[in-house]
């Protein structure tokens, strides 16, 4: 969708006002119109938007924001701070029972909101923290839902408790608790069938589960792409069964994800996780400030930096000698491999570009798509099929070596040729243009 980022819009609005000594209430009103539109297009609930803009207006007019040198920036900051506040301020986490005792988590949500996948992802995440989880297959309604849970759980090596589809979910939950205690699990995650918040019979089933067993944390899965209805869904689930925390799913879509803001604002429940992809490790903690940036179309620079920090650990010496070789146009395949692995560590180019500010725009997305992460994998296979000597000294390359490398990488020789040519061209290019290498830091290849 051709969203302009809110900051661009505001800059424009204020541009026409430049030259005025200070901004008037009318100017603020105009700015709030932009804010309102941006939030509505991001699917933030109408009432939430209404409250929000009137609160901002009060603050903006009452304070000396409008007298500052750059009122647009000040308003954006004000808006962002308020959004972060609405999104919960601090980052929240699941609450566990003390020590090794069993924590029972129940997943709930609409059909297709991603409960089953999320349940497995959480179990995987908790294992990293040293917690042993049991998944209970409580969706007896959707055909093959139990298979989905089992297959995915197996991929992560997480245990599943299932009694088939002929037993009521309430009984399954009860038996699962016994089983979890017997097996000395730390966490039991009960997957339940998707249901509409207005379906009395189905909602009673969840109430019944909570009556029969002690559920410590009830998690509501909300699809990031949900529209205005998100608020009704969440408040109704909360009213009827009591929700402790939220999980936002499918945040890897290109949606602004305003639904999460609405739901957080209306229910006051913390968001503990965000699902960011189909792979089973694609789940992250939720950062209110980054989400605020996303809703405003300001990109998620912080996540990007953090990803880089977490994954790039070239020591300074390696980096410096690489740069010096690069200047002479004498980079070798080891350098190439290293640069590539850095990038892969950050989740591939697409995942990086996805966090960049302003990437709602089509051209950038297309540019990102053109670099195929799979191609990087093929390139890696080629380099890893070279001998140490070949990697150190690219000049050794000859047809017989290329054939061997192609066989080793399981690729056609044409593909090996193409890569080597690209590499050699890159060498030449770097030799000719040493100036443009400045600023690329540790990554001479510029990706």
Partner 1 sequence: MGLFDRIKAGLQKTRQAVADGLGDVFIGEGDIDEDFYERLEETLIRSDMGAEASERIIDKLRDQVPENHLRRRKDAKKFLIKDITGEMQNAPDAFDFEKERSVVFVTGVNGVGKTTFCGKLAYKLTREGKKVILAAADTYRAGAAEQLSLWAERAGCDLVQGNPGADPSSVIYDAANAAMSRNADILICDTAGRLENRRNLMEELKKMDRVIDKVMPGVRRENLLVLDAVTGQNAVSQAKGFAGVTDLTGIVLTKLDGTPKGGIAVAIESELKVPVKYIGTGEQKEDLERFDAETFVKAMFADDTSEEVSEDDW
- Contact residues for partner 1 (CB under 8 A)? 1, 37, 40-43, 46, 110-114, 141-148, 150-152, 196-198, 223, 225-230, 232-233, 235-236, 250, 252-256, 258-259, 278, 365-366, 369-370, 372, 374
Cβ of residue 43: shortest distance to partner 1, in angstroms?
Answer: 3
First to last CA, the chain: 27
Cβ of residue 306: shortest distance to partner 1, in angstroms?
Answer: 22
- d(Cα 51, Cα 55) in Å, to the nearest integer? 6
Cβ of residue 197: shortest distance to partner 1, in angstroms?
Answer: 7
- d(Cα 301, Cα 371) in Å, to the nearest integer? 21
Comparison of 258 and 394: residue with beta carbon closer to partner 1: 258
Cβ of residue 258: shortest distance to partner 1, in angstroms?
Answer: 7
Structure tokens at 424: 């050699």
Closest by Cα among 424, 378, 371 to 405: 378
Cβ of residue 194: shortest distance to partner 1, in angstroms?
Answer: 9
Cβ of residue 143: shortest distance to partner 1, in angstroms?
Answer: 4
Cross-strand pairs, 190:
106, 136
Comparison of 255 and 385: residue with beta carbon closer to partner 1: 255
Query: Is residue 76 a contact partner of residue 28, using CB atoms and an 8 Å limit?
Result: no
Q: Which residues contact 255 (CB under 8 A, 6 or more apart)?
A: 43, 224, 225
- d(Cα 39, Cα 296) in Å, to the nearest integer? 7
Closest by Cα among 135, 134, 136, 218 to 184: 134
Comparison of 370 and 398: residue with beta carbon closer to partner 1: 370
Cβ of residue 365: shortest distance to partner 1, in angstroms?
Answer: 6
Comparison of 259 and 296: residue with beta carbon closer to partner 1: 259
Strand order in the sheet with 245-249: 159-161, 133-138, 187-192, 103-109, 217-223, 245-249, 271-275, 283-285
Comparison of 360 and 426: residue with beta carbon closer to partner 1: 360
Comparison of 17 and 40: residue with beta carbon closer to partner 1: 40
Closest by Cα among 5, 50, 43, 91 to 262: 43
Comparison of 174 and 236: residue with beta carbon closer to partner 1: 236
Q: SS3 for 91?
A: coil
Phi, psi angle pair for 246, to nearest 5°: -115, 150
């Amino acid at each position: 969708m051709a969203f302009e980022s809110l900051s661009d819009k505001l800059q424009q609005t204020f541009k026409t006002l430049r030259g005025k000594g200070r901004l008037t209430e009318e100017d603020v009103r105009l700015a709030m119109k932009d804010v309102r539109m941006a939030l509505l297009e991001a699917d933030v609930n109408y009432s939430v938007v209404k409250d929000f803009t009137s609160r901002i207006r009060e603050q903006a007019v009452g304070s000396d924001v409008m007298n500052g040198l750059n009122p647009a920036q000040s308003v954006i900051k004000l808006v962002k701070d308020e959004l972060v506040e609405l999104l919960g301020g601090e980052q929240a986490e699941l609450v566990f029972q003390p020590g090794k005792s069993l924590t029972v988590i129940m997943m709930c949500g609409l059909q297709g909101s991603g409960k089953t996948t999320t349940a497995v992802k959480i179990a995987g995440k908790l294992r990293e923290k040293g917690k042993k989880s049991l998944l209970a297959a409580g969706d007896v309604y959707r055909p093959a839902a139990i298979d989905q849970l089992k297959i995915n759980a197996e991929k992560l090596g997480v245990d599943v408790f299932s009694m088939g589809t002929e037993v009521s979910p309430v009984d399954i939950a009860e038996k699962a608790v016994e089983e979890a205690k017997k097996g000395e699990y730390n966490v039991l995650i009960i997957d339940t069938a998707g249901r509409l918040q207005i379906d009395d019979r189905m909602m009673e089933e969840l109430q019944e589960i909570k009556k029969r067993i002690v559920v410590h944390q009830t998690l509501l899965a909300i699809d990031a792409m949900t529209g205005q209805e998100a608020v009704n869904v969440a408040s109704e689930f909360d009213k009827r069964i009591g929700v402790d925390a939220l999980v936002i799913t499918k945040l890897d879509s290109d949606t602004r994800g305003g639904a999460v803001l609405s739901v957080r604002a209306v229910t006051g429940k913390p968001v503990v996780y965000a699902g960011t992809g189909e792979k089973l490790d694609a789940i992250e903690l939720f950062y209110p400030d980054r989400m605020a940036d996303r809703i405003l179309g300001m990109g998620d620079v912080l996540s990007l930096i953090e990803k880089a920090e977490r994954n790039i650990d070239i020591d300074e010496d390696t980096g410096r000698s690489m740069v010096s070789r690069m200047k002479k146009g004498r980079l070798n395949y080891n350098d190439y491999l290293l640069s590539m692995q850095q990038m892969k560590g950050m989740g591939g180019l697409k995942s990086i570009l996805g966090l960049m500010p302003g990437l709602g725009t089509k051209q950038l997305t297309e540019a990102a798509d053109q670099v195929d992460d799979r191609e990087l994998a093929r390139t890696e296979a080629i380099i890893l099929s070279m001998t140490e000597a070949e990697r150190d000294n690219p000049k050794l390359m000859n047809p017989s070596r290329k054939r061997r490398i192609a066989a080793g990488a399981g690729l056609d020789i044409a593909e090996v040729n193409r890569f080597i040519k690209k590499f050699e061209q890159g060498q030449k290019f770097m030799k000719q243009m040493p100036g443009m290498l400045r600023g690329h830091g540790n990554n001479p290849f510029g990706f």
